[in-house]
Structure 1
Amino acid sequence: MRYPFTPELLDALPEGLTKLYRSLEATLLDEICSRLKLAGELNEVTVQDIRALRSHGIDLKEIEKAIQRTANISQRDLKKLLDGAVERNQEYYKEVIDLAGLTAPETLVSATDIVAIMAQAQREVGNLTRSMGFLVDNGRTMLAPGRAYQWALDNAEMQVMSGAVSYNQAIKNAVKQLADSGIKIVDYESGHRDQIDVAARRAVMTGVSQLCSKYTEQSAEYLETPYFEVSAHIGARDTGVGWQNHKEWQGRVYSVRIGDKYPSIYEVCGLGYVDGLEGANCRHIRTAFVDGVMERTYTDEELAHIDDGHDVDFEGKHYTAYEATQKQRQIEHTVRKLKREQTAYKAAGLSKEEQAVTARIRRLNAEYKAFSEAADLPLQRERMRV
């Protein structure tokens, strides 16, 4: 049987929410940077002109409305997504239980457990808009979106007064810092900072993973099986030692017992560890497996050749299937960063800079297409859209 969530489906699930937050990021950059634009010869802007801009101010209501709108839509979409995860798991395990000749209970996971997991995911996503801002001054200062405009003008005024640079150059520097940062969110306990779309993605993946885990464990208990099948996908992580190397253990059956006919899922796959099965950035899931009733999704032979045709030589460098997927992610990340710059430069009226960035985006898009085709990997352009 196929898994309730293939790794590819699991990977695509958060894209709706991540795009929503990228869109908010673009809206806020446009709102702030468009107000930094001054008509006429920018090199001749005086301190009085900057002060006039400051007194004109920025409409914080528009910023607050954009943030609130995103928060409301994300909560609604997340609920729909998690409801879908519950339904999909329920359906899959009903089939497994029928296959084992048992009668499936009406609900495998208690409503209380489901509500608790969903509430935690909703809190995580809700916190995104409450702890976000721009990171400036070489990462030393975190600014709320409404403060970014004043910060850019403060910097410009100080530099123009000192005679160090023109207003044009000062604003270009400020705009680039805001675009390079994008919207960050901060974990106030640990001090860790993340891009807002990355944090949204993690919140979704955590909620879905916890639901899948709960269904897997409850179903295994109901089926009285100690065995789990681990999913497999092209381009699994093939670096590191022991369970860090996910390609080595994916697609096989494991036991929660030591010294069983199947290897230990804890010792071999590192279940419960940050770099193991279901850990950070892991797209594998486990599903309850009934020995003698179910068949594995992949044979050992198929697993040995799962990456065939997906390693690639490109521009003088060899990439394994895993390295090829990492190269894709790296290009996608760079394009998203450049698109933030493009939005900010355009809003600030810095047309030369906007054109230069647009040319780089075109070149990278062409490289992305050529590389993905050479590695026979699907294009995931939705990861680069804003």
Structure 2
Amino acid sequence: MLTPSQVENYAQRASAAFDELELDILTDIAKQIAKTDYMTEGAAWQVERAQALGATRQHLVQCMDTLMADAAPHVAVIFAEAMLDGERQDNRFYRAAGQPEPEGIGTSAVAQQIVQSGYRRTMNTLYNLTQTRALMGNHNLPVAVQEQLGRMLDRGHLGAVAGAFSLDQVTRQGIKELAANGIDAITYPSGHTDKLETVILRAMRTGINQTAKDISEHNANTMGVDIMELSAHGGARTGDGGQDFTNHSWWQGKLVSLSGQPGYLTLDDIGYGDVRGFAGANCRHNWHPFWPGISKPAYTQEMLDEYNRPKFPYNGKLLTEEEADRRQRALERQIRRWKREYVLAKETDQPDLQSHAAGRLAAARGRLDDFLQQTGRHKQQLRETVPGFGHSEASRAVWAARR
């Protein structure tokens, strides 16, 4: 098993392999916006627009295969580390109960196949995202990006021709929108659009956790274990609030029988195999072996109640772990936003916008520091990282903000 915090840590590390892709696409779109002549009209504008869209599509096709080839070894290493970590966690429970340990991943051919299958499944999810064809009616990355750029170009053209905006204003608005919203990765038939960083992190979190779950289950079946204890964490989703599998806070920390023994939760109770249930999309819950009468429960009811108790002081109020986590992630997103705007302004030679982004970045960092100081929570440096914004950019941004 992996703990919820370990699942998140490994997912964040694996997702970082794709950060360069997002910055690459953002920079390409920003440059297309900056060099487009919005004052052309009629057929000339359609040619201008088509050239910009064509250049972006060509750029995407060129960089995607290279990206997947470069990212794959990095993600494979993280997958291996995560599964070995999960194996060590499981073995602690076998030893504590006086039970023999299952065969390790290093020598078990079946366990190795499970790890490889989980890794390939996760990478295929992202590989399908980058293909130029639509799957199941969805608009995947190349199409979604072109649609996003097309909307921005048309909006800029309308404003420029109507005299509402100068060419410089159109460029600035485009860069600010890109920095604030990120890249459209997939558009569903319903019209809902997922952003690239959301899709990648969800795929990594789900893939890593499901594979660790499969390894634990394989070991349990091999060793004749029937009862598994579910992990628990603060901020678990509540679904419809009832006692069903969509309410993770209801079943977390409890015991489940793989065979459906009476007196325990069943696999159906926790939504095993359902995208909304245990180890489904974005779920960080896992499980470990448990021997009734021998094992000591990892969670008491008091501990489970504590997860949902408001206990983080912030601006005169007490936040639950879920509320505090949501607030911290929002503050971290703001930091990434202004870092992206700084980098894009630099790449498109917009010094005023670059200085503006530096000032907003300093303010965003101040808000996060204040939040962390009040709540006693820890900084998650990886969740603030933006490729292209290194130590030199950070130093220049600090001086620009001071000026």
TM-score range for the pair, normalised by the shorter chain length: 0.7 to 0.9
Residue 382 of structure 1 is matched in structure 2 by 382
CA contact (8 A) 1:152 1:171 kept: no
2-structure distance, mates of 1:23, 1:103:
41
CA shift in 2, pair 1:319/1:305, >3 Å = closer
Query: Which region of structure 1 is more displaced relative to structure 2, 312-321 or 223-232?
Result: 312-321
Residue 121 of structure 2 is matched in structure 1 by 120
Which of 14, 19, 23 is matched with 2:16 structurally?
19
> Which secondary structure state, in structure 1, belongs to the residue aligned with residue 110 of structure 2?
coil
AA matched with 2:145: L
Q: Name the structure, 1 or 2, with higher relative contact order (CA <8 Å, separation 6+).
A: 1
2-structure distance, mates of 1:336, 1:210:
28
Counterparts of 1:245-256 in structure 2 under 5 Å? Answer: 245-256=247-258
Query: Which region of structure 1 is more displaced relative to structure 2, 155-164 or 118-127?
Result: 155-164
> Which secondary structure state, in structure 2, belongs to the residue aligned with residue 278 of structure 1?
coil
1:190, CA displacement in angstroms?
A: 7.1
CA shift in 2, pair 1:19/1:259, >3 Å = closer
Residue 169 of structure 2 is matched in structure 1 by 169
Residue 140 of structure 2 is matched in structure 1 by none
AA matched with 2:257: S
Query: Which region of structure 1 is more displaced relative to structure 2, 224-233 or 236-245?
Result: 236-245
CA contact (8 A) 1:128 1:196 kept: no
CA shift in 2, pair 1:249/1:371, >3 Å = farther
What TM-score do the two structures reach when normalised by structure 2?
Answer: 0.74
Counterparts of 1:293-308 in structure 2 under 5 Å? Answer: 293-306=294-307
Percent of aligned pairs sharing the same letter:
23
Deviation digits for residues 262-284 of structure 1, max 9, x if unmatched? 444643x4444444432333221
> Which secondary structure state, in structure 1, belongs to the residue aligned with residue 326 of structure 2?
helix
Deviation digits for residues 331-385 of structure 1, max 9, x if unmatched? 2233333333333333333333433333232222222222223222221131121
Query: Which region of structure 1 is more displaced relative to structure 2, 171-180 or 97-106?
Result: 97-106
Can you give the 5+ residue segments of structure 2 that lack an aligned partner in the other structure?
134-142, 387-403
Residue 144 of structure 2 is matched in structure 1 by 142
CA contact (8 A) 1:97 1:103 kept: yes
Residue 178 of structure 1 is matched in structure 2 by 178
> Which secondary structure state, in structure 2, belongs to the residue aligned with residue 228 of structure 1?
strand
Deviation digits for residues 134-164 of structure 1, max 9, x if unmatched? xxxxxxx83349x94x876666555444434
> Which secondary structure state, in structure 1, belongs to the residue aligned with residue 144 of structure 2?
strand
CA contact (8 A) 1:37 1:349 kept: no
Deviation digits for residues 72-105 of structure 1, max 9, x if unmatched? 2221112112223343344455565565544734
2-structure distance, mates of 1:193, 1:55:
23
2-structure distance, mates of 1:154, 1:270:
45
1:193, CA displacement in angstroms?
A: 2.9
Residue 137 of structure 1 is matched in structure 2 by none
Residue 70 of structure 2 is matched in structure 1 by 73
Residue 232 of structure 1 is matched in structure 2 by 232
2-structure distance, mates of 1:344, 1:122:
28
Counterparts of 1:1-386 in structure 2 under 5 Å? Answer: 4-34=1-31, 37=34, 66-93=63-90, 96-97=93-94, 99-102=97-100, 104-105=102-103, 106-107=107-108, 109=110, 111-130=112-131, 142-144=144-146, 148=149, 156=156, 159-186=159-186, 193-237=193-237, 240-243=241-244, 244-256=246-258, 260-264=262-266, 266-267=268-269, 269-306=270-307, 311-386=311-386
CA shift in 2, pair 1:266/1:144, >3 Å = same
1-structure distance, mates of 2:180, 2:351:
18
Q: Number of residues paired by the alignment?
A: 365
> Which secondary structure state, in structure 2, belongs to the residue aligned with residue 282 of structure 1?
coil
